[in-house]
Amino acid sequence: MIDQLIIKHRNTGIVVDANLLVLHVVGRAGRDLITRCKRTEVFTPEDFDLLQLVLKEFRSIITTPHILTEVSNLTESIKGDLRRTLLDTFVLELNTFHEQFRAAEVLTGHPGFRLLGLSDTGIADLAQRSHLVITVDFLLYAHLVEREFDVINFNHLRTFFNG
């Protein structure tokens, strides 16, 4: 099933939720930083490797201004040189993302807004427009599955690859 989703969406790209995008940015800044940052301490360096394995299958990473803002906000608690390193990596990674915009006014009218919030509603909007989503957020995952949108639960990948 996962391999079929990858093949189906390989050329159109993949939408990565904010938590996994933080993992991506922190890991790109330094794999050893993953367990040192508060926002990524729930992940392992192997999770980063697995995410990279999946992301390299796609032509692009699709994101929104709302996701990017959330990623930036999630790293605000990090201070000093590490913060500068993460922000520098974030800026470099921005050049590789394909950013799509949908006004907040439009997103607040979507089903599920009151359940998901703005950033995840933006992800659901992209899924509705036939984009594949990868998420670690069970609420978002369940919402997308219920609507029969293409989605990969990162926790399922962990189980599949780690036994």
Mean pLDDT score across all residues of the chain: 93
Query: What's this model's pTM, rounded to 2 decimal places?
Result: 0.93
Q: Length of the chain, please?
A: 163
pLDDT at 1: 82
User: Across residues 44-70, what is the average pLDDT?
Assistant: 96
Contacts of residue 18, Cβ cutoff 8 Å, sequence gap at least 6: 67, 70, 71, 74, 119
Count of helix runs (H) and strand runs (E) in the chain: 10, 5
pLDDT attached to residue 61:
96
What is the pLDDT averaged over residues 82-97?
A: 90
Task: Specify whether the CB–CB gap between 149 and 15 falls below 8 A.
Answer: no
The residue type found at 144 is L
CA-only gyration radius of the chain, Å = 15
